[in-house]
């Protein structure tokens, strides 16, 4: 798999239930009284992650029921299918408590949406609700996410890719010598995909990579140094003596930035999944 910080690809039994993901909790304002009466304080209603974890046995039963009756349209994991929406992010399913919201839809169906009615018992509906709640909580509990093995590519192909795309700036005998002893495969992949997040400010175990910049003023005077800040309106740098300079990017002011990470940004738009897998497989051999 590609590391999550590079690509993230997230996407009728309960038809037409899905809208964008709901918040973790809702704040409901109690109705205010008449003049002279104190307003009731806001009532905080825990919306999802702080709710009780459903009974594992109920989740298991509900999963079997869901796969058999609903999985064809909504996917076996309730993330949606060709004919049914994602129920992990369905607002109605998120608001459900023990089947009180999804139960009526299951029992009556949505014929106009192509969803038939299902003659399930109350206990079966509660089990399906438990399964959906478990899927919702798993989706929002990011600390439980597991990074799978990222070393799945062809090291030889990765070496060839490295030589053609990266060899002009990097060398396995030079700056990358022993790199696989310093970082695990996930960290290695992260660093070649997104070096900016690690190197601009140093990062763990990395020297800060300076970005050279030259500012030519309208008068023709040139000031060079290390880039400190830049946007559409201003540019700031620190020269070799450590002095800080800041200029407005007005008419006649020319800014030349020599970004040492520019090549990585170009490649980021060109990589295929297989390129990333192969390059990772090669880099882990540099010990």
Q: Domain ranges in the chain? A: 25-144, 155-207+262-283, 212-257
In angstroms, the CA 191 to CA 194 distance is: 5
CB 2 within 8 A of CB 278: no
Read off the pTM: 0.44
Angstrom distance (rounded) from CA 69 to CA 118 = 8
212-257 topology per CATH: SH3 type barrels. (2.30.30)
Q: What CA–CA distance (Å, rounded) separates 131 from 65?
A: 9
Can you name the residues that pair with 225 across neighbouring β-strands? 213
Distance CA(132)–CA(69), nearest Å, equals: 14
- Considering just the CA atoms, what is the radius of gyration of the chain in Å? 28
Q: Which of 1, 14, 147 is nearest to 69 (CA)?
A: 14
Residues in the chain: 287
Q: So what's the pLDDT on residue 142?
A: 67
Pairing of β 43-46 and β 212-216: unpaired
Helix orientation angle between 273-283 and 185-193, rounded to the nearest 10 degrees: 120
* Number of Cβ within a 10 Å radius of residue 189: 25
The per-residue pLDDT for range 208-246, each reduced to its tens digit, is 678 899 999 999 999 999 999 989 999 999 999 999 999
Rounded to whole angstroms, how far apart are CA atoms 50 and 154? 44
Domain 25-144, architecture per CATH: Orthogonal Bundle (1.10)
Contacts of 10 (CB under 8 A, 6+ apart): none
Please determine whether the domains at 25-144 and 212-257 fall in the same fold group of CATH.
no
Q: Which of 75, 91, 57, 98 is nearest to 13 (CA)?
A: 75
pLDDT tens string 8-37:
333 334 443 433 333 333 333 333 444 444
CB 61 within 8 A of CB 127: yes
Closest CA to 59 of 135, 146, 142: 135
Q: Which pLDDT belongs to residue 279? A: 96
Which residues of the chain are under the pLDDT cut of 50?
Answer: 1-47, 198-206
For residue 25, what pLDDT is reported? Answer: 36
């Amino acid at each position: 798999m590609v590391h999550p910080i590079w690509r993230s690809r997230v996407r009728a039994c309960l038809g037409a239930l899905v809208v964008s993901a709901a918040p973790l909790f809702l704040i409901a304002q109690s109705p205010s009284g008449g003049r002279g009466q104190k307003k009731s304080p806001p009532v905080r209603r825990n919306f999802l992650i702080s709710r009780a974890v459903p009974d594992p046995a109920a989740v298991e039963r509900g999963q079997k029921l869901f796969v058999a009756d609903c999985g064809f349209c909504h996917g076996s994991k309730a993330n949606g299918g060709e004919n049914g929406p994602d129920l992990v992010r369905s607002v109605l399913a998120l608001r459900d408590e023990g089947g009180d919201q999804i139960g009526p839809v299951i029992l009556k169906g949505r014929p106009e949406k192509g969803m038939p009615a299902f003659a399930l018992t109350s206990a079966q509906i509660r089990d399906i609700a438990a399964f959906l709640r478990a899927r919702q909580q798993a989706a929002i509990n990011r600390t439980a996410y597991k990074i799978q093995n990222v070393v799945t590519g062809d090291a030889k192909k990765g070496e060839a890719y490295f030589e053609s795309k990266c060899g002009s700036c990097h060398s396995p005998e030079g700056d990358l010598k022993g790199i696989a002893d310093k970082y695990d495969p996930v960290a290695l992949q992260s660093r070649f995909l997104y070096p900016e997040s690690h190197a601009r400010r140093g990062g763990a175990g990395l020297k800060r990579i300076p970005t050279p910049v030259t500012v030519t003023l309208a008068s023709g005077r040139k000031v060079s140094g290390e880039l400190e800040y830049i946007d559409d309106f201003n540019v700031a740098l620190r020269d070799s003596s450590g002095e800080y300079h800041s200029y407005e990017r007005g008419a006649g002011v020319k800014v030349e930035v020599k970004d040492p990470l520019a090549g990585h940004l170009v490649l980021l738009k060109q990589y295929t999944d297989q390129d990333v897998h192969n390059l990772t497989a090669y880099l882990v051999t540099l010990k």
